[in-house]
Amino acid sequence: MPTAPDLYAVMGNPVAHSKSPQIHALFAAQTGQNLEYRAILVEPGQFATAARDFRAAGGKGLNITVPFKQDAWVFADILSARAERAGAVNTLIFDRSGVRGDNTDGLGLVRDLTVNHGYALSGRRILLLGAGGAARGVLQPLLLEKPEQVVIANRTAEKALELSMRFSDLGRVSGRGFAELVGRQFDLIIHATAAGLDHQAPQLPDEMLASGGWCYDLMYGDQPTAFMRWGQAQGAAQVMDGLGMLVEQAAQSFQLWRGVWPETQPVIAALRPR
């Protein structure tokens, strides 16, 4: 009699658009893992209840997306060093030790940029737009790549400043409001605000992108995002969405759950609109 598959899921709101079930199905087929992966819509304020119910039903692990990454940080019994630092969790592992929380977002972003796109982050001037859970998750891995500086910009300047102080021991990082960006130039601009959920981009000054500069949106879609279109209008040498990051961070989660590293390139290719 066949063994029942191990159960995993992604929780978020919204979540219907998520490609995570498809990604993990492809990983499972590639590596011969017996698992089932679902997308679960969770209402605001109900994350802890939903996660407990999922675990009680035999769930082995969860991915967490907007807006519950900080809720998952609170929910976890044990945090990895990078999740502790980020104050945000995108991966929960349910095992005998309890509920372990990790954050694979930054590793996914760095791997997509450096391995898939051949972009060296060392010595670069990086602008990170946003100071929420998505930004928190990518800061430590970005700073460990030794960029010249990372500027965090947010609509609420105080939030960006607080976040920069949290990571200031890892490198040259500062925080400010969008209006304070006038006259600054950056080699790489990373969009991590919630505006992308509404198909919008922050109101940004022109001429912020250095010659040959790149733009990277953590959001992804079948069409270029509003921020990608902004980057194209600014003459970016390259504009990218977050599909590669999504697959790479999922691979890190898969390895944490199953102890197996899947190949990401075929999965990214399979998911790209043709």
Q: Which residues are catalytic?
A: 69
Residue 163 burial by CB count (10 A; 0-12/13-18/19+): exposed, middle or buried? buried
Taking Cα atoms as reference points, which of 216, 272, 247, 222 lies closest to residue 30? Answer: 247
The CA distance from 91 to 246, in Å, is 13
Looking at residue 202, the DSSP 8-state letter turns out to be -
User: Alpha helices of 12-63 — where are they, by DSSP H?
Assistant: 20-31, 47-56
Looking at residue 32, the DSSP 8-state letter turns out to be T
Handedness of CA 245, 104, 113, 68 (dihedral sign): positive
Taking Cα atoms as reference points, which of 152, 187, 191 lies closest to residue 168? Answer: 152
E strands, the chain, in order: 6-12, 35-41, 59-64, 78-79, 91-95, 98-102, 125-129, 149-154, 173-177, 186-191, 209-217, 238-240
